[in-house]
Amino acid sequence: MRTCQPCNLQYNGSRARDTARHSSRPLGRVLHPHNMSPMDKQTTLLHHKIRQLESLFRFYGVHDWADWLDQDAKSISSGFPEGIDHLLSAYGGMGSMSDVFISAQAGHPIKARDTSRVNAEVSALCSSIYQLATAIRSRHQ
């Protein structure tokens, strides 16, 4: 077992795999914050926020958008830039992801007292995801 001193990550296995896991390149979900460029940090933050929103959507029964976000998170974490474009296509127009409103009246399993808080969180995540995705896309163009 080895430990990375800057990040205290413990790792083991073959030398090739350890080297790959400890590189500054994203390999799947393995990233080392102390070695990341600002772009990698943005992509990691985007991935995290996508997963947060996906989790909220799944919990409250918004499965179509949760599946959409899952697909994009997998694509982005695998290094496929088209995942950003697919993610951004969920914004704008009627019926877009940012139009989702979670409520008991819409059939979601939520208590009335939680509706405002949860929808504020959804709105904040949608905005943050959009801002991060557009910033990342503009750096790739």
- Tens digits of residue pLDDT in 36-88: 444 488 999 999 999 999 999 999 999 999 999 999 999 998 888 789 999 99
pLDDT in tens, 5-40: 444 444 443 333 333 333 333 333 334 444 444 448
SS (H, E, C) 4-72: CCCCCCEECCCHHHHHHHCCCCCECCECCHHHCCHHHHHHHHHHHHHHHHHHHHHHCCCHHHHHHHHHH
Q: Which of 137, 117, 136 is nearest to 125 (CA)?
A: 117
Average pLDDT on 130-134 reads 96
Domain ranges of the chain: 1-36, 37-140
Does the predicted TM-score (pTM) go above 0.85? no
Entry field: residues in the chain:
141
- The residues near 42 (Cβ < 8 Å, ≥ 6 apart) are 132, 135, 136
Predicted pLDDT of residue 3:
55
**DSSP labels, 71-114:** HHHHHHHTT-THHHHHHHTTSSSTT-GGG----TTTT-S--GGG
More confident residue, 105 or 4: 105
What mean pLDDT, rounded, does the chain reach? 80
